[in-house]
A and B are shown apart, each in its own frame.
Chain A
Amino acid sequence: MGGTAIDLIVLGVSHKTAPVGVRERLAVVPEAMESVLGELAALPSVREAALLSTCNRVEIYVATDRDGDRAAQALGETLARRAGVTSLELGAHLYERRDAEAVLHLFRVACSLDSLVLGEPQILGQTKQAHETALRHGSAGAILNACFQGAFRVARRVRRETAIARNPVSVSSVAIELVRQVFGGFDRRQVLVVGAGKMSELAARTLRTHGANLTVTNRTRARADEMAARFGAAVSDWSELPAALGVADIVIASTGAQRPVLTLEMLRQVQRARRGRPLFLLDIAVPRDVEPEAGSLDGIYLADIDDLQKVAAEHRDERKNEAADAEAIVAQELDRFLKAWRGRQLAPTVTALRAHVLGLAQAEAARTISAMPGLGERERRAIADLAESLAKKLLHAPQMALRNDDAADGVSLVVAVQRLFALEVAAAAPVEVADDRTDVPAAPAAGDVPDKKAAGR
């Protein structure tokens, strides 16, 4: 893996390495994105830059020239300055990945394998946003485009082929999913929120976004009014609780009462009036607000906080199991990506190597000839031919080795040759990884023409 030179560096902090106090100092608001990207792209040895800033991570992805160390150092200093700490202090929280490991990191982040809640869906959108922003500000080029496109592709595959993001893992999303099993959705459903505490408010906020009609009832009317005003909900008087239960489809109960407020007897009467129309009771209070026996009444479904937490916990375990499959997909896709990348680098490298060696041979022949002015045309040609023939023979074996290189032993000959001969190869165009292709090198793009200046050096 280490043998593939994608000159990519990722430097950042996440929930795993830094407390929120550090993360918030590094976070970049959307309005400041342009200036920060500009600043990053202007750093020495940095060619391209993208920035991913979420609640749980702040990461900078940069494509560099050969001097990755210089770029990494400059990035570290910039981050430290932004956070208002020393490089040393920030260093304790900072992680850095390079080349293929940086690509792997990006793939894992996009697949939500590095997230606080495994499989959470937002990170993919945030990663896409980061890429789009970099594109818009002109700080993303061939390398970042290839890496980000690769990451989106892997994330799509992981979501399609594993259950990592399938089932809800939070209590509120489990509750929503359960209600869907009965009603199909929340649109225009009557939701009665019993209690005006913090939990009720959280539930109300979630349900509001799903299009439910809310009614709030609370023992202290003023608090119900206050909460209803915040969510545009209706208010029902506490004394009219049975009537409110009669018209509701879903009840969220979360009062601070020590004894059940929705008793079996009350619900039995409500149930008779409903004639089988289903009523879903979500009891998220501790101590419970609904008498547990009410769940056995015809048409009344009851889930308490333990039921919801149990499902959420099962789903979390499930996601952990799915993560192994997701990691395997990521590894497979990374391998594919790197092979395609090497394929793109092969042709320009071979061309650059030939130009470099043949150029040297020609230059040396010319020097020898000019030092021997008495030579005739035939001799001069013989010397030039000798130099060229020698160069070609020397080139034959390395060229064959390059073409057959699969970097199976972890060392890419393409990279080795580039570094041994100081070849400057233009950055490849975005890597298109076809579904069925594993190791066929892509044809060189227009941008892959070798740098003549470098070749002649």
Chain B
Amino acid sequence: MTALEIGVYALAAAIYLGYLLGRSMSGGAVAERARAVGVAHAVLAAGVGLHLCDIGARCIHGVNPISSTPEAMSLVAFLIAAGYFLASLRYRLAAAGAFAVPAALATLVLARVVPAEADAPHMGSLGQVHILLAVIGVAVFALAAVLALLYLFEDRQLKRKQFERMMGRGTPLETLDRLALTCVSVGFPVFTVAIVTGAIWVARLGLLRHTAALRPEYIFALATWVAFGVLLIARVGAGWRGRRAAWLTLGGFGGAMLVLLTYFLRHAA
């Protein structure tokens, strides 16, 4: 099942990338391009469906989607793909698919190549809440990062006056900016609660006392939280927008990626 959904996501990612990077709209390619978007959305929908079935099947076999880091990563991938798919039904976001679907694909592949923790601590309900909220928070930040990436991509095209390449296929910069803000506004409180519950959980487990006082992932998680906090204050409070906001979003998401990477490196070692 996993190989199948990875294949389907890969196919969708390839079509979205072709859409974004393909040459201009000449040569009778309009209908083909419109069809390509339709096909990409359909393939992605199939991938999301398969992925959901996969997660469901694992649940039936007693593998909780938040029971281990790989399972949680798979859930992040699912939320990115499903979130993007739902947003693309409402907004003209075909170009963002070229970032969102590869991101979901990479996360899923990563989730499946890393073995589950052999010594996963018993989580209890607090641990489960922490992981679930962290997963949702990271997935929403990932979507914000995708929108920020597309913003920077389109901004660069406008600055370089590559107007011809943009016509008819981009998403308006303002829409991207607004959607990214929405994502951060939703993701930040969720991530905040995840950090708090995580801190309490870790304290309860006594991990802080037994091991190094502060593991790198705690610092990265805190840095992520600070980055998005600053971004939110700057955006809502000081009206920050545009390129700087996009870079800060990417920075914050980079922190979240470092947290995950640290987990992986630890479990892979």
Contacts and interface: CB of A to CB of B under 8 A. Distances in A.
Interface in A301-336: 301, 303, 307, 310-311, 314, 317-318, 321-322, 325
A183 B167 CA distance: 13
Nearest to B29: A163
A71 B181 CA distance: 69
A322 B175 contact: no
B26 interface: yes
A178 B30 contact: no
B158 A182 contact: yes
A278 interface: yes
A183 B172 contact: yes
Interface size class of A (residues with CB under 8 A): 20 to 34
A123 B202 CA distance: 71
Interface string B156-193: 00110101101110101111000000000000000000
B242 A298 contact: yes
A276 to B, nearest CB: 3
Interface residues of B, number: 30
Nearest to A165: B30
A296 interface: yes
B25 A166 contact: yes
Given A295-B159, A321-B26, A277 B167 contact: no
Interface in A148-172: 160-163, 166-167
A182 B173 contact: yes
A180 B159 CA distance: 15
Contact of B241 (A162, A166, A181, A276): A276
B31 A276 contact: no
B24 interface: yes
A131 to B, nearest CB: 26
B26 A311 contact: no
Interface in A161-198: 161-163, 166-167, 174, 177-178, 180-185
Given A162-B31, A275-B240, 6 more contacts: A182-B173, A275-B239, A276-B245, A278-B173, A321-B27, A322-B26
27 contacts: A162-B30, A163-B25, A163-B26, A163-B27, A163-B29, A163-B30, A167-B167, A167-B168, A174-B163, A178-B163, A178-B166, A181-B158, A181-B166, A181-B170, A181-B173, A182-B158, A183-B173, A184-B175, A185-B172, A275-B238, A276-B240, A295-B161, A299-B243, A311-B163, A311-B164, A311-B167, A325-B28
Interface of A: 160-163, 166-167, 174, 177-178, 180-185, 275-278, 295-296, 298-299, 301, 303, 307, 310-311, 314, 317-318, 321-322, 325
